Amino acid sequence: MFKIDNLHVHYGLSHVIQGVSIEAAPGEVVGIFGRNGVGKTTLMKTIAGWVKPSGGSISLDDARLDGLEPDQVCHHGVGFVPEDRRIFPGLSVEENLKLGLMQRPGRTRAEQKAEIDRIYQRMPRLAERRRQIGTTLSGGEQQMLAMARVMVGKPKIALIDEPTEGLAPMIVADIFAIIAEMKASGAIVLLVEQNLTGALAASDRFYAIERGTVVLSGDAKNEADKARLVETIAV
């Protein structure tokens, strides 16, 4: 189980996250919605350890994550696909994928190779470009690489921030298919996404954030809840 309890985050004097509480269970996709600048990306970065909270707690399977360094958070089974993808410059597609394997240490070389081969079977475009420098890929291919880098780590929870922005419809469909595969594998997925229709279709539940506070939660398949969400974030 993943749980955020009364989380607060400050940037200097700016109180960006103001008492957010969120829960998610294995095999569940939870959408995080809200207008630009309300704190969604800050929330994801805080869970990943990139930003330190000023109060509250973050826990996964009873292990406290708040205050840990990013590599420690990663080793607890947290994978992060940031909005800007963070493809490592100067490294090939395969080298980027191998870094993803570090998320869950302890696997044998044969197991690591099997994981990368599984990714190549799922994403043959990456297999074709395995020796190519990752930052020279197209935008859609870089997004697929960022998703794949998390997938090879078999995370307990995947944080996915704005994965479809500016991408072609075919790539968007594939990204939502990958999210569905993560869910089917038993992973928790926290999804920040502006494509409301696609994100709600992929999600089980949702939270809406306004000014750093959760103002609404609901069932992503319930028409009344969805209508309230649209009304809330359109204000």
At 97 the pLDDT is 94
What does pTM read for this prediction? Answer: 0.93
What is the tens place of the pLDDT at every residue in 130-182? 999 999 999 999 999 999 999 998 999 999 999 998 888 989 999 999 999 99
Q: Is the pLDDT of residue 205 over 70?
A: yes
What is the C-alpha to C-alpha distance for residues 179 and 186, in angstroms, rounded to an integer?
Answer: 11
Q: What is the CATH number of domain 2-234?
A: 3.40.50.300
At 165 the pLDDT is 87
User: What's the mean pLDDT in 106-125?
Assistant: 89
Return the DSSP state at 207.
Answer: E
User: From residue 180, how far is each of 65, 66, 136 by CA, in Å?
Assistant: 25, 27, 28
What is the C-alpha to C-alpha distance for residues 48 and 202, in angstroms, rounded to an integer?
Answer: 22
At 106 the pLDDT is 74
At 103 the pLDDT is 78
What is the C-alpha to C-alpha distance for residues 191 and 33, in angstroms, rounded to an integer?
Answer: 8
User: What's the mean pLDDT in 208-226?
Assistant: 95
**Sheet containing 63-64: order of strands:** 14-24, 2-11, 55-60, 63-64
Q: Is the pLDDT of residue 102 over 90?
A: no
Q: Is the pLDDT of residue 58 over 90?
A: yes
At 235 the pLDDT is 58
